[in-house]
Amino acid sequence: MASKVIHAIYNDDDLLLQAVKQVREARYHIGEIYTPFPVHGLDKVMGLAPTRLAITSFLYGVVGLTVAVVMMNGLMIQDWPQDIGGKPSFSFLQNMPAFVPIMFELTVFFAAHLMVITFYMRSKIWPFKKAENPDVRTTDDMFLMEIDAAGHDVDGLTKFLYDTGASEIKLIEK
């Protein structure tokens, strides 16, 4: 049995936010929303759980800081100690003020680059992956709400969506 979804297209982000509120109050299931730019507050209106990416970013920064400390201690103190500018080369703690910029830069470097990789993996955006966007207008100026129509009166749902401000509605058989 093929499943049915309805694509409701909106032309304003504020209209979309109000429509999402009304659709959720009417107990319809929203499968996905496609927007040309991030819409502030959409995740809260949809009832999505908060993301844990900030925790991941912090952990990646800690990994970068650890790599920086181990690298500088191994290279500048243990392996090849040098007297640069009169700084003692036998203690990491005495040299730490000179190492702070390197520690900061590697912390930011690791957090930024590993977060990009994590974002691509989490979003399932692989190289040469075909786009899954159902309507190309959502990359320009339109907003699309995909609603599961299985088990619902399609005509009633279509009328309801037009009442929420949808400019165009399509029934899609998947």
pLDDT at 126: 82
Mean local confidence (pLDDT), 141-166: 91
**AA identity, residue 144:** L
127-156 average pLDDT score: 88
pLDDT, average across residues 156-168: 92
CATH topology of domain 4-36+141-173: Alpha-Beta Plaits (3.30.70)
Question: Cβ(174)–Cβ(4) under 8 Å?
Answer: yes
pLDDT at 123: 84
CA distance 65 to 108: 9
The CA-based dihedral angle spanning residues 96, 100, 102, 103, taken in that order and rounded to the nearest 10 degrees? 90
162 pLDDT above the threshold of 50 = yes
The answer on pLDDT for 170 being more than 60 is yes
What is the spatial distance between Cα 35 and Cα 116, in angstroms, rounded to a whole number? 21
pLDDT greater than 70 at residue 2: no
Sequence-ordered list of residues with C-beta below 8 angstroms from that of 158, at least 6 positions apart, any chain: 6, 169, 171
Q: How far is CA 149 from CA 5, 63, 107, 167, in A?
A: 5, 46, 47, 18
Model confidence pLDDT, tens digit, residues 54-113: 999 999 999 999 999 999 999 888 888 777 776 667 778 888 888 899 999 999 999 999
Torsions phi, psi for 19 (to 5 deg): -65, -40
Measure the CA–CA gap between 53 and 115, rounded to whole angstroms: 8
Confidence class for position 1, pLDDT limits 50, 70, 90 = very low
pLDDT in tens, 11-44: 999 999 999 999 999 999 999 999 999 999 999 9
130 token code pair: 């075909």
User: What pLDDT does 58 receive?
Assistant: 97
CA distance 163 to 165: 5
